[in-house]
Amino acid sequence: MDHKQYRKALAKLDLTQAAAGEMFGVGARTSRRWVSGKAKVPPMVAMLLELMISKRIKLELNIPVSAERPQAERRVWTFQAKQAVHAME
C-alpha cells in the first residue's frame, strides 16, 4: 500500500490521521508520515485497513475523560460492523 492508497483507505473508513495513528499504536506523527509518503506503510497496517474496508468494519474511539486523572484513563477501541452478520444455515 502506498501513501495515496493509505490516504484513500482512511477516507473510506472515516478515520483521521491521528485516530489511525492511535489505533496502530504509532501516534499521529507517524500516520502523517505515511500519508505524505515520507515513510512506508507497514504491511500489517495495510492488511488491517484492507480487511476493515472489505468487511465494512468501522472504528469508534471511546475515551473516558476524567478531570482528576486524564492520564490514568484507558482508551477503549470498539469495532462495529456496519454490515449485519448472518448465521450460516
Which domains, ranges and CATH numbers included, belong to the chain? 3-81 (1.10.260)
CB neighbourhood size of 44 (10 A) = 9
SS (H, E, C) 18-32: HHHHHHCCCCHHHHH
Confidence of residue 79 (pLDDT cuts 50, 70, 90): very low
Q: Which residues pair with 80 in a beta bridge?
A: 58
Read off the pLDDT of residues 14-55 as tens digits, 9 standing for 90 and up. Answer: 888 988 888 888 988 999 999 999 999 999 999 999 999 998
pLDDT above 90: residue 63: no
For residue 54, the surrounding DSSP H or E stretch is: helix 43-54
- Choose between 72 and 26: higher pLDDT: 26
Close Cβ partners of 23 (under 8 Å, ≥ 6 residues apart): 15, 59, 61, 77
Q: Are 45 and 27 in contact (CB under 8 A)?
A: no
